[in-house]
Amino acid sequence: MSIVLYHHPYSRAANVLWMLEETGVPYALHPVDIMKGAQKAPDILALNPMGKLPILVDGSVVVTESAAIGLYLADCYAPGRLAPALDDPARASFLRWSFFAPSVIEPGAMAHASGWNFRPAAAGFGTYEDMLATMEAALAHGPWLLDARFTMADVIFGGTLRYMLQFNMLEPRPLYTAYVQRLDERPAYQRANAKNTAIARELGLGH
Ligand SMILES: N[C@@H](CCC(=O)N[C@@H](CS)C(=O)NCC(=O)O)C(=O)O
């Protein structure tokens, strides 16, 4: 199997499993027990010096950072379907919302939840209110970020949104919760969720 995901169900690798299911490529999972610190072992640090999951290995290629993994999979294995072609104007929104998740939502929600002290004009993620309003504007047309077209940007942005709502790090505005509900109904999400839940049970986690 050429694609291997270094995975733990209680990590962002759970979202990458959904990316793989949406992409439809064969893959194998390499378990890493982050509860026992296995992500800091030398073989993992050799792949990702951050000592974090997810890590995707595709033959001789190594990709880390969830959003980068999503873009890589879409461009390599689902071009024109999960990623607009390079000359398609829809590519702009695809990239915009794919990068918005790690660049704005992740730090913006964390800053708000943790009471960080920062200057919004200097911090790339700006104010919490501007972030919330921008996300609402992105979702106002629906059903997906690129209107009728579902892409990997929805998995990246939507996965981050789901995660932040789950941990009460974002206000559950109706447009957000309705969008996550639509995402949850996708067969690929349900397959990924079933796999993540089964692995969590095997590890004695969850209920
Ligand atoms: N920016 C990274 C974040 C990766 C990350 O923080 N992973 C967490 C799990 S969700 C992790 O491996 N934590 C273990 C640790 O830092 O020791 C991404 O999006 O992939």
Per-residue tokens: 18: 């959904």
Ligand 1 centroid – CA 207 distance (Å)? 23
Q: What is the mean pLDDT of the chain?
A: 97
In DSSP terms, 4 is beta-bridged to 28, 57
Q: Judge whether residue 206 has pLDDT over 80.
A: no
Cβ–ligand 1 distance for 11 under 6 Å, the answer yes
Residues of the chain with CATH 3.40.30.10: 3-80
Cβ–ligand 1 distance for 63 under 6 Å, the answer no
Number of other residues whose CB lies within 10 A of the CB of residue 153: 30
Ligand 1 centroid – CA 160 distance (Å)? 13
Q: What is the pLDDT of residues 85-134, one digit of tens each?
A: 999 999 999 999 999 999 999 999 999 999 999 999 999 999 999 999 99
Q: Which of the listed residues 12, 65, 66, 99 should we mutate to test ligand 1's pocket, taking the one with most ligand atoms within 8 A of CB?
A: 12
Pick the CATH number of 90-188 from 1.10.150.120, 3.40.50.920, 1.20.1050.10, 3.30.565.10: 1.20.1050.10
Q: Judge whether residue 139 has pLDDT over 70.
A: yes
- Cβ proximity of 7 and 45 under 8 Å: no
Residue located nearest, by CA, to atom 20 of ligand 1: 65
The overall pTM is greater than 0.95: yes
Mean per-residue pLDDT for 15-29?
A: 98
* Architecture field, domain 3-80: 3-Layer(aba) Sandwich (3.40)
- Atom number in ligand 1 closest to CA 11: 10
* Torsion on CA atoms 70, 43, 48, 38, rounded to nearest 10: 80
Helix and strand element counts for the chain (H, E): 9, 4
The string of DSSP letters for 122-186 reads: TSTT--HHHHHHHHHHHHSS-SBTBBTB--HHHHHHHHHHHHHHHTT-S---HHHHHHHHHHHTS
Q: Judge whether residue 1 has pLDDT over 70.
A: no
Q: What is the pLDDT of residues 147-160, one digit of tens each?
A: 999 999 999 999 99
The model's confidence at residue 142, banded by pLDDT at 50, 70 and 90, is confident
pLDDT value at position 187? 98
Ligand 1 centroid – CA 11 distance (Å)? 7
Between CA 146 and CA 140 the distance in angstroms is: 11
Ligand 1 centroid – CA 1 distance (Å)? 24
Ligand 1 centroid – CA 6 distance (Å)? 12
Cβ–ligand 1 distance for 23 under 6 Å, the answer no
Q: Percentage of residues in the chain with pLDDT exceeding 70?
A: 99
Cβ–ligand 1 distance for 31 under 6 Å, the answer no
**What order of strands is seen across the sheet that includes strand 61-64?**
28-31, 3-7, 55-58, 61-64
pLDDT value at position 64? 98
Q: What 3 state SS string does 180-198 have?
A: HHHHHCCHHHHHHHHHHHH
Tell me how far CA of residue 182 lies from CA of 41, 77, 145, 151, 162, in angstroms. Answer: 38, 24, 12, 13, 11
Tell me how far CA of residue 16 lies from CA of 135, 155, 168, 202, in angstroms. Answer: 22, 9, 21, 19
| Cβ partners under 8 Å of residue 188, min gap 6 | 18, 21, 22
pLDDT value at position 207? 59
Cβ–ligand 1 distance for 12 under 6 Å, the answer yes
Between CA 206 and CA 200 the distance in angstroms is: 6
Residue written as tokens 């004695």?
204
Residues of the chain with CATH 1.20.1050.10: 90-188
Q: What is the pLDDT of residues 46-88, one digit of tens each?
A: 999 999 999 999 999 999 999 999 999 999 999 999 999 999 9
pLDDT value at position 48? 98
